[in-house]
Chains A and B, each alone.
Chain A
Amino acid sequence: MKNGLTERLRQVIPVDRLNDWERDEIFDHLADYEPLVEKTVIEQLGILWPISSPLCFDFLGHLTKGLTCLSIEQLPDWVKGILDIYEAHGLRAAREYMDDVEAHYLCTIRGKKGLSLDEIIPRLLPYLRGLSGQSLEIQKAPSLYTDTRSVFLPREIIAPARSNDNFYLYKLLVSFLWAEIELDIYCQQQTAPEVLEDFFLSFEDQELAASCYHLLQTVRRAEFLKSYLPGLMRDGQPLFRLLLKDVDLSDSSAGPGNELATVRQWLLCCCADDPLPDLSDETAAILHQASAEKISYEDIFGATTRFYARVRLTGDFKLPAPLFFQGKLRPAEARMARLSRREEQKQQFIKALAAVIPHLSGAPETETEQTEKIQIPSINESESGAILSPMGQDGKNEQSTEEKQNDPRYICLDDGQIKVPKELRHLAREIENDLGKVPSFYIASASRMAGGRGKTPATSIQEEEGKALQGGLLYDEWDFRRRGFRKNWCMLIEKRIIATKGTFVTTTMEKYRGQILQLKRQFEMMRSQQRLVRRQQDGDDIDLDALTEAYADLRAGLVPSEDLFVRRQRDERDIAALFLVDMSSSTEGWVGTALKESLVLLSEALQSLGDRYAIYGFSGMRRSQSELFHVKTFTEPYSEEIRGRIGAISPMDYTRMGPPIRHCTKVLRDIDARVRLLLILTDGKPEDYDDYKGEYAIEDTRHALTEAKAGGIHSFCISIDKEAQDYLGYLFGDINYTFINDVKKLPLRVPEIYRTLTS
């Protein structure tokens, strides 16, 4: 690709005479443009280079900004302007002119101040996720597009002059990109992954075909958004009118001959709610076909083919730049994203299904969970492994989040059907959307995993077994395969953390000064939640209700109660909380920092509340060396020393969760408190260097948590992860965990969670 670019550049610039860094700089600047844009830019370089090569580099440096404001057709004009200034006033003036592209140049979309993406992500991301009901990500990129998993946005955009709300523009862009996912313009529902790319390949002029397709899809998107998000589109009308003027002015090609330009204009009028321009019968028919509410790929492909033919027929056209809110069409990226999602779903599904198969298929050893084999009479899909959906499900209804009822319920195995466990249904539906049905080998692998486990790993473990460990603290470990404990299997070594004198804690306190104050206030309020306890032997005041009652009882000939006082009770909060922090190697970096910051914030907040708490960190390697680090025990007060220890927390080895949980259970059990709380902060699932992985690890952890629960301890897990993992619900129960996908939020979320948990 670079070679191609070199070739093209060589036509206008003596590439070979440049030194390496100059060449790299040029390549960097040109790397991300569409062929058409690149072509225009290179043409302009050819004009600039002979006049001044430094100017040429400056121009490249300003290009991205320029293009957010100018359409590609306007680029030559801009360059002309630059050269005029340069020749009259020199390089510096030319630079200023370029810097000020929005002010000097007559462009429609211009603004006073660009709004940086960082500033608005906190608002934009929940918006996008609420809109989609999925955990989509927002990423920064030079151009605007979505690969259906993430939405890529340019770092900066220049808002239109007359829009007082820069945020609106981002919102509009994000909504249009979301519509691409929602309307499935990348054809990801039950198709071959290459379907769209193959379709384009069938045309002589593929670029044109893609433009036609994207434009038709944008018409669809616009109409969809007009009905789904009417407010958004109404707010956008002034903006669309501005754009419309731009099209009128600049699009010299927008004549009767140029159907692409005509449809573009039609689209803008549609968005602006202006009177629609006349279309030829054929074009009108194409648009009608493309924007029908229920539409198949064949329909839209057909419309594209017709449109393409029509555009070609009208002959002499210039490919207009896509409208800025259209974004880029990136079928290849979407395909990659789909494939990686497919792989993840496959793994997730197999694992999750394997974990439940023994319960479901009614294997002899299952005692509790009874199998629900429900036969549906009208099933024609009898192939083993097919997933059946409840009757009467059809196309998407508008609330994808509300669709749970439509998720598949049954799986056909060789020996009959089993019910798909609730947690898996949604996943099964997504896989079905992608592949048409859940492939039978997913289910086969799952049952292999379920049936075959216990064989391979077990032997290796068996050899070691028996050599019970000596020294340290010994803990049993739960082996789900034999439904029993391995006695004294793990050795837990308690360690001290040596406090460091670093600046971590002070920096953190500085960074969150305002928030810490606020937290302290909030926590203080929890403490002063005084309760009036009624019916006490003595107290601060008379309990009138009780007194009346006693008097009445007396009159009624009963022995009156003597509990006639109300007392203010303060120490209602009889809570002991133990924070168990993951110190495994995976927490290295941001996660570790956020974990530590949250400990600081939490400790500060708890200071003003007065709940008893302890902090332990855990890590380790192999069963012989499970390590538990004392950051703060229940009896130690929060002090300089403790702060130093928090600062000294650093990532170690693996995540064997069983032993530390068992130990903490013991610690908590020895504490006399009304409520005992074990809060686990982690960034992933339990795993150790040896066989402590996968299901074994999950089952042991689960068992350890069950033991804690039996001991009257509430456990809660805060997990930092990109997305919620199914196993969390399994380990902690649906409402006893929360996951945080934005590390930056962790430090404030942890105290907040503690507050909700205990109030």
Chain B
Amino acid sequence: MQITGQKIEEHRIHDKPFYLVQKNELVIAEAAYKNGIPLLLKGPTGSGKSRFMQFLAWKLQRPLITVSCHDDLSTSDLVGRYLIRGGETFWVDGPMTLAVRHGAICYLDEVVEARKDTTVVIHPLADDRRELAIEKRGELLAAPPEFMLAVSYNPGYQSVLKDMKQSTRQRFVALELGYPNADLETEIVAHESAIDEKLARLLVRIAAMTRGLKDSGLQEGASTRLLVHAGLLIKDGIEPREACQVTITQALTDDREMLNAIDEMVSSVL
């Protein structure tokens, strides 16, 4: 008896997601897919990793199953477990198993957040064996060619506790998704928050300024996502500087001087 918790159909992407290709990522990812090599996306937060995966899944016509990793994620959470209902036990596939069974794309977001003993279950899946062991059921699932494993992480966080093991990272084709260039990013922001191009360009300009501040003590600059948020609020009638203050400035730092400096950038541009 086998009842799946989630239906694979729910993971199909029917409408083309809006995604603007930055550089070679689509070509590389398709080639990786064709050759059964898993994919590692590196990049700062909000740089379009998740969106890219949706786009890729749509393009490849595969369902996309996303798992956000955290340090409590257990192997059962990924692979599946027995549950009881009405005195009966039944097995529920975890997202990973589900993806393998249906030849879907399984995307582990922020994979470094997961504990290392959890990530090892993906090892046999991520090399040329391409198989998933479901210990409890004594089952060894071979992944069909359509199955793809993808993981993402943000190398900007320098915590030594969250470094990825070499044995893990060396199984992947690695793609770096940085921030899109100014024109592309303008187009993205304009589209996503439905604001005019002129305003979008100004927002992108602010972001570019904040991204140059790593050496001055800002860990990460404003992401495309923040710009989209700012755009949405402005669209909704919030005063532009105020909108940027709450979506960009305050989101980036708590440091007083840095907050002030970013606010000054905002008020210079808008």
Contact = CB atoms under 8 A, between A and B. Distances in A.
Interface string A745-759: 100010000001111
Nearest to B81: A549
Interface stretch (A239-247, A550-558, A697-705): A550-558
B71 A535 contact: no
Contacts of A398: 182, 205
Interface stretch (B55-63, B144-152, B261-269): B261-269
B191 to A, nearest CB: 19
Contact of B216 (A125, A551, A552): A125
Contact of B84 (A123, A548, A675, A741): A548
A504 interface: no
B82 A231 contact: no
A402 B181 contact: yes
Contact of B209 (A125, A131, A549): A131
A600 B178 CA distance: 38
A739 B182 contact: no
B241 interface: yes
B82 A556 contact: yes
A123 B182 contact: no
B157 interface: yes
Contacts, number: 136
B124 interface: no
Nearest to B259: A123
A127 B268 CA distance: 10
Contacts of A588: none
A399 B208 contact: yes
Interface in A297-336: none
A216 B74 CA distance: 67
B268 A229 contact: yes
A714 interface: yes
Contacts of A551: 84
Contacts of A132: 212
Contacts of B219: 756
A127 B159 contact: no
A232 B267 contact: yes
Contact of B212 (A130, A736, A749): A130
The interface residues of chain A, by DSSP majority, are classed as helix
B269 A122 contact: no
A555 B241 contact: no
Contact of B83 (A171, A531, A548, A759): A548
Contacts of A124: 261
B89 interface: yes
Nearest to B138: A558
A757 B159 contact: yes
Interface in B69-127: 71-72, 74, 76, 81-84, 87-89, 91
Given A126-B258, A401-B211, A724-B215, A228 B205 contact: yes
B158 interface: yes
B168 interface: no
A325 B33 CA distance: 58
Contacts of B159: 756-759
Nearest to B72: A534
Contact of B81 (A531, A552, A675, A716): A552
A28 to B, nearest CB: 34
Given A129-B216, A398-B182, A552-B84, 6 more contacts: A125-B261, A171-B268, A552-B81, A556-B89, A739-B215, A759-B159
3 nearest A-B pairs in the assembled complex, by CB-CB distance: A552-B82, A130-B209, A126-B261
Interface of B: 71-72, 74, 76, 81-84, 87-89, 91, 136, 155-161, 163, 179, 181-182, 202, 205, 208-213, 215-219, 241, 257-258, 260-262, 264-270
Interface of A: 122-127, 129-135, 167, 171, 175, 228-232, 235, 397-399, 401-402, 405, 531-532, 534-535, 545, 548-549, 551-553, 555-556, 558, 675, 677, 714, 716, 724, 735-736, 739, 741, 745, 749, 756-759
30 contacts: A123-B260, A123-B264, A125-B261, A126-B213, A126-B217, A126-B258, A126-B262, A127-B261, A127-B264, A130-B212, A133-B209, A171-B268, A175-B268, A228-B205, A231-B268, A398-B182, A399-B182, A401-B212, A405-B181, A535-B74, A545-B76, A549-B76, A549-B81, A551-B84, A552-B81, A552-B83, A552-B89, A714-B163, A724-B215, A735-B156
